Homo-oligomer: A and B are copies of this chain.
């Protein structure tokens, strides 16, 4: 169940071990010594390769972000957004990276901010295309909707532990995600309210 302690270079093994432990324990509580142990090297070698714990974090940020956007290079627009969305839903195949990304998004290292901005931009572009194609309604404030849709997209990562618990599971999984897909598509397609009473009330309050 450990990380691949195989034919990777020591540097790569250290980085992968760091992604796991930073993700599992958070940056502050993860110890360089433990990362070294998991990578099968000494603590000094970790610092030798990366300079400092902070720079090791940067390297992890960079590596995970690259993995996430790798597929974006080839595709564009809605297709790329869908690819990224699928990657974010592959809990079994990408768990260490996804856990790390969740920490990135809730930490304050700047990398999380950058990532989120990219997700919003991608969501916004996808909306524009889908609205042009007549698949999506022309919502009034696209920036606001894109930003919130992005938060909804990463919510299963950032709040995955709680979400899983609420649904009777130990951790997020592809199965749980699939169980959620249809009900959420239903909500996003038909709304949850039977009519626009609440909407019109809010409208009257906010736009007098």
Spell out A's residues near B (CB within 8 Å): 26, 28-29, 105-106, 108, 112-113, 116-117, 120, 134-137, 139-141, 143-152, 154-156, 158-159, 161-163, 165-167, 178-199, 202-203, 206-207
Contact A135 B198 (CB under 8 A): yes
A195 to chain B, nearest CB (A): 8
Contact B106 A186 (CB under 8 A): no
- Complex Cα gap A185–B119 (Å): 22
Q: Which of B151, B159, B188, B193 is within 8 Å of A135, CB to CB?
A: B193
A196 with B188: in contact, given A165-B117, A183-B141 (CB under 8 Å)? no
- Complex Cα gap A116–B159 (Å): 9
- Complex Cα gap A197–B113 (Å): 34
Contacts A117-B166, A139-B183, A148-B187 known; 9 new A-B pairs at CB < 8 A: A106-B159, A116-B159, A116-B166, A135-B194, A136-B192, A141-B182, A146-B166, A148-B163, A158-B158
- Complex Cα gap A185–B192 (Å): 10
Q: Which of B146, B156, B166, B193 is within 8 Å of A188, CB to CB?
A: B193
**In the complex, chain B residues whose CB is within 8 Å of the CB of A106:** 106, 158-159
- Complex Cα gap A95–B132 (Å): 39
